[in-house]
């Protein structure tokens, strides 16, 4: 049975609405893309959709309780929820530096979760209150 899958391309600002005619998981035709990049995007989005995952991770002893993190590479779309759960279970100790690996090989994908900013440790001692 042939079905039509609609995908909005994000390869460029045009945002083409692309229709894929698909039968038994095979792409039969692609309509609506105004450039080859759009066609490639639609094929990849249909076959293996991925997303970069931006979120936060808990920090112990930092000047803030959370540090922003993201996936170093796009993750399979179907694994985003599991990745969020794995990140939520982690608490790193400050200081954290931009690029530090917060979770290595998240969900067995081979993709690391990395810090996207520096987060210093909170100061302690007699001068910290000044």
Residue 8 above 90 pLDDT?
A: yes
**Cα gap 31→52, rounded to integer Å:** 26
Check whether residue 71 and residue 93 sit in a common domain: yes
Domain count, the chain: 2
The reply to whether 108 and 78 lie within a common domain is: yes
Q: What is the pTM of this model?
A: 0.81
Same domain flag for 66 and 38: no
**CATH number of domain containing 89:** 3.10.530.10
Q: What is the pLDDT of residues 24-69, one digit of tens each?
A: 999 999 999 999 999 999 999 999 999 999 999 999 999 999 999 9
75 and 28 inside one domain? no
Do 63 and 100 fall within a single domain? yes
| DSSP output for the chain | -EEEEEEE--SSTT--EEEEEEETTEEEEEES-SSHHHHHHHHHHHHS-EE--EEEEEEESBSSSEEEEEESS-EEGGGHHHHHHHHHT-EEESPB-TT-EEESSGGGSS--EEESS-BPBPP-STTTT-
Residue 123: per-residue pLDDT:
85
Range of the domain at 63: 54-115
Classify residue 19: in a domain, yes or no. yes
């Amino acid at each position: 049975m042939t079905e039509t899958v609609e995908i909005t391309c994000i390869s460029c600002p045009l945002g083409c609405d692309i229709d894929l005619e698909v039968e038994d998981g095979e792409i039969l035709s692609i309509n609506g893309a105004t450039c080859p990049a759009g066609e490639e995007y639609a094929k990849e989005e249909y076959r293996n959709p991925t997303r970069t995952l931006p979120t936060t991770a808990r920090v112990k002893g930092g000047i803030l309780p959370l540090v922003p993190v993201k996936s170093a590479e796009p993750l399979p779309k179907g694994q985003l929820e599991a990745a969020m759960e794995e990140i939520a279970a982690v608490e790193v100790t400050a200081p954290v530096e931009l690029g530090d690996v917060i979770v290595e090989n998240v969900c067995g994908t081979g993709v690391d979760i990395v810090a996207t900013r520096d987060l210093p440790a909170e100061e302690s001692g007699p001068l910290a209150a000044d």
